[in-house]
Amino acid sequence: MTAVTATAAAEHCHACGGPMGVVRHSVAWHLDVGRCRGCGTVSVLGAAGIVAEDIQSVASGGEAAQTDWEVYADTMHTREVVRHEVLDELRARAATRASELRLFDVGAGTGGFLDMARSRGFRIAGNDISQSAVDHAAARYGIELSTRDLDEQPAQSVDVLTMWCVIAHVGDPSAFLASAWRMLRPGGVLFLRTPRWCLADAVGVAAARVGRRRLATLADQRVTRGHLHLYRDRGMERMLDRLGYVDVDVQPVTHTGCTGAEIASRLGASGEAQQRLSRVIDRTLSSRAAPRNTMFVYARRPGGASTGDARINDARRRTSRS
């Protein structure tokens, strides 16, 4: 295991409150990456300041706001099967029929997931920080998204709240999830997907410490300006438990947005060597040996009558066996 050194600017883990120590320094981004000694959560130190800069950039139409939303929306269609499965799970865990469920998607982007949920009978709403994304959702799907923060949304107003790869990009995920808890009605269900700390990340950190530049680059893509936080299962469970959520169910899964060829290229391979390595990577990613680098998380605000208790227990048994 990589040694953790003390950090001059004392920070505490937002997930469990434990002490953070510097685990590595990103030369490319000039940022320190810390790890909690208690729950293992990994975060960029000073994340709140980074997010403030990005929010200002998006609001002013700067680099962080320059997204080809048409391409983004088309990319989301490749994940439809997974998203339908999540909607099935949310329906099973909720206390009422889908036609009566109000679903709010945080960071809804182009609105593709909300359009899918609407087609499945959910009453939908959502928000996004980017005005250009909001405009695209209205033009493409006829969905009116809000640009207001969660703290500005009505309390106890939704039955289901979803976050697809959102909390890895916010400065204080604990406060963010507390705002989500406030929005949920008693018995309401939270779903989030976020990157998960896995063996591949440990290898990347070790490589960065001994100067392996290519592997250090991959480590940077997992946690620096792209993702500000990576969680272990126990860190996520502790954070949600501290915030008052119940029936917390963390499901480790394998996901990558890159092909084997792209990963091989980033590792410095080219020509025939790149082709061979990319085939090995693709086979690994499609096998049971693939690192579980993402987590699907379900949790519930206490209260109400849940009809999904049996389904929750089944999901936990499946996770414990895998």
Domain segments of the chain: what residues?
77-193+294-322, 258-290
Beta bridge partners of 127: 146
Indicate the SS3 state at residue 296. Answer: strand
**pLDDT tens column, 57-80:** 544 455 444 455 444 444 444 467
Structure tokens that stand for 188 in this block:
């309401």
* Distance, C-alpha 258 to centroid of its chain: 16
Q: If 0-12 CB within 10 Å is exposed, 13-18 middle and 19+ buried, where does residue 211 land? A: exposed
Average pLDDT, the chain: 79
Q: How far is CA 89 from the centre of its chain?
A: 18
Whether 91 has a pLDDT exceeding 70, the answer reads: yes
Q: Check residues 262 and 64 and name the one with the higher pLDDT.
A: 262
Least confident of 7-11, 196-200, 242-246: 7-11
Please, how many CA atoms are within 13 Å of residue 28, restricted to the half-sphere of its CB?
15
Q: Is the pLDDT of residue 308 over 80?
A: no
- Under CATH, which number does the domain 77-193+294-322 receive? 3.40.50.150
225 has pLDDT over 70: no
Question: If we measure between CA atoms, which residue out of 165, 151, 171 comes closest to residue 52?
Answer: 171
pLDDT tens for residues 128-182?
Answer: 999 999 999 999 999 999 999 999 999 999 999 999 999 999 989 999 999 999 9
Residue 106 has pLDDT above 70, yes or no: yes
Higher pLDDT, 206 or 229: 229
**What is the rounded distance in angstroms from the CA atom of residue 214 to the CA atom of residue 250?**
31
**Separation between Cα atoms, residue 315 and residue 309, nearest integer Å:** 10
Residue 297 pairs in a beta bridge with 192, 250
Q: HSE-up of 250 (CA within 13 Å, CB side)?
A: 21
Q: d(Cα 308, Cα 166) in Å, to the nearest integer?
A: 25
**What is the per-residue pLDDT across 180-189, written as a single tens digit (0 to 9) for each?**
999 999 999 9
Euclidean distance between CA atoms 74 and 164, whole angstroms: 16
Q: Is 212 exposed, middle or buried (0-12, 13-18, 19+ CB in 10 A)?
A: middle
Pick 249 or 220 by higher pLDDT. Answer: 249
With cut-offs at 50, 70 and 90, classify the pLDDT of residue 39.
very high
Q: Please tell me the distance from the alpha carbon of residue 165 to that of residue 26, in angstroms, as a whole number.
A: 22
**Tally of CA atoms within 13 A in the half-sphere of 121 that contains its CB:** 10
